Chain A
């Protein structure tokens, strides 16, 4: 913008600040609440300034959890969530990269049929197919395991579709040049397609990781062993207790919010770099 109108500037900034405040306030409350003593949050007025019990609350939540509410130590739950989210993310990315590669670059029979088959599953979220999926996972003895937590969530039509669209924008000459250069299909995939898709991979990584991290219903269904509880369902369990210990819950919430933030911060560099170095 080359205009210089002080009032417009002022209002623009005011709007932005209000927006930020609306978004940031709940996070601030969670942070403040996680530093209070056990009774402080039950007095009716929410303290607005950090208390003195932060370290104590976090240590307690991290090391021992709230066992009477069925919440194991946050450390375990965070680790479980992380494994599950990573497995889902990496699994989704590799499967959808490969299937998009197949659909775009290979001429096999029923190609379009398979594409539409994948595409149709977009319309079936986990919740719709949760009963049959549970049955399958139970029959395969995958209840209470990381495999059971992640594998059923790996297949992804969304990512396949996005990669397909991206691959179709890569000029065909690129493939032809690679063929003349003696690159077979897998070499082409590894040396040309993957590096070109790196920004898409980064963006999808973030989305998929958060999707996996926030899974609630599925882990709740298939885990009965506290060793496999994830942080999101742990938090839910603590809140449904008779006397919820809000200071500990908030400590868990803050910890649960950190990994997605870190993933975004780390991946952002990759895809911002990708965006600024736009390739033709």
Chain B
């Protein structure tokens, strides 16, 4: 168990391509931190730098109190779960789990005991003598986790471990990973591009974009107060609607926008915060045409064309409202639904 500290971590590839442009992050002992961002944002590179699979161009990486920049992956006391599991196909599950321990010179009894404990924890005891190819995707996933678990490392590193599973299994494994981490209290760094996975798993989220940190915070902090327009649009599904302030001001008859800082020129509104019935608080009324209606069971998505704006807008509402495609309707927005941004800096203008 240990904390992980990244100080000014940079990665530059040959040809001056910067993949990671200076990342500072402190992960506390036992914390579950999720790195999330679109593909190509440098999140996997960053994780691989922590693992020691990718060299560090600049900056300091500490695991515990130890600077590990120059150490081999095996010497860093970390374990990694790979996206494609990377199980050794010619070894039984037992040997897959035991291999790392054997290489570290553990005694046979000790190895056996650790493998069996881990197998029991992950419910893969029945497959110990099988080869990976005889296992289903979910079982392979467990074996890959087991391989990390048996070592009792200082930190777990997960590189999009659930992206090869089907949707149902993904949810199940997500819950199990979370429970396991709670139980073991091992520091974990988890990379994903799936914002739902990020929201549900992490104690803290690190949103990365183009090799830089956009925002660090608990999932709810980030959801409630996205620090940049990028984060606002990336976290949350459907994505936040971005409307120009000028457009909203034209419809603002009740002074809803008066509190916004003056450098604001764009306002974000979550699809959930657009209401179909007039609320009690002062509100802005937007006239719209319903272009497309998606019923997703417990909730519905309304794709709107706002009158006088070409910005596509989505509204999410519970249940199934009595609307039909092509009809005009009104949506209402109150002041606490507004996320003010400046589109030049891309930053939030108020708290």
User: In the assembly, what is the distance between CA of A191 and CA of B87, in Å?
Assistant: 13
Interface size class of B (residues with CB under 8 A): 20 to 34
Chain A residues, Cβ within 8 Å of B133: 277, 279-280
Chain A residues, Cβ within 8 Å of B79: 180
B 58-76 contacts with A by CB, 8 A: 72-74
Interface hub of B52, B79, B100 (most chain A Cβ within 10 A): B100
Q: Is A181 within 8 A of B100, CB to CB? A: yes
Contacts A173-B82, A180-B78, A180-B79: A196 and B89 contacting too (C-beta < 8 A)? Answer: yes
**Does B183 make an interface contact (CB < 8 A)?**
no
Q: Is B89 within 8 A of A180, CB to CB? A: no
Q: Is B99 within 8 A of A191, CB to CB? A: yes
Q: Is A179 within 8 A of B88, CB to CB? A: no
A-B contact count (CB 8 A): 62
Chain A residues, Cβ within 8 Å of B258: none
Chain A residues, Cβ within 8 Å of B51: 176, 180
B 84-110 contacts with A by CB, 8 A: 84, 86-90, 99-100, 103-104
User: In the assembly, what is the distance between CA of A178 and CA of B89, in Å?
Assistant: 12
Chain B residues, Cβ within 8 Å of A181: 74, 99-100, 103, 147
User: In the assembly, what is the distance between CA of A147 and CA of B72, in Å?
Assistant: 42
Give 1 or 0 for each of A149-188: 1 = CB within 8 Å of chain B CB: 0000000000000000000000101101111111100010
**Does A126 make an interface contact (CB < 8 A)?**
no
Chain A residues, Cβ within 8 Å of B52: 179
Which residue of chain B lies nearest to A195 when distances are taken between CB atoms in the complex? B90
Candidates B78, B86, B90; contact of A177 at CB < 8 Å: B86
Instruction: List B residues at the A interface (Cβ < 8 Å).
Output: 51-53, 72-74, 78-80, 82-84, 86-90, 99-100, 103-104, 133, 147
Supply 14 A–B pairs (Cβ within 8 Å), ascending by A.
A174-B86, A176-B51, A177-B82, A177-B147, A178-B88, A178-B99, A179-B72, A181-B99, A181-B147, A182-B100, A183-B103, A191-B99, A279-B133, A280-B133
Other than A192-B88, A195-B90, A279-B133, give 20 A-B pairs with Cβ distance below 8 A. Answer: A171-B84, A173-B83, A173-B86, A174-B86, A174-B88, A177-B80, A177-B88, A178-B88, A178-B99, A179-B52, A179-B73, A179-B74, A180-B100, A181-B74, A181-B99, A182-B100, A191-B99, A196-B90, A198-B90, A280-B89
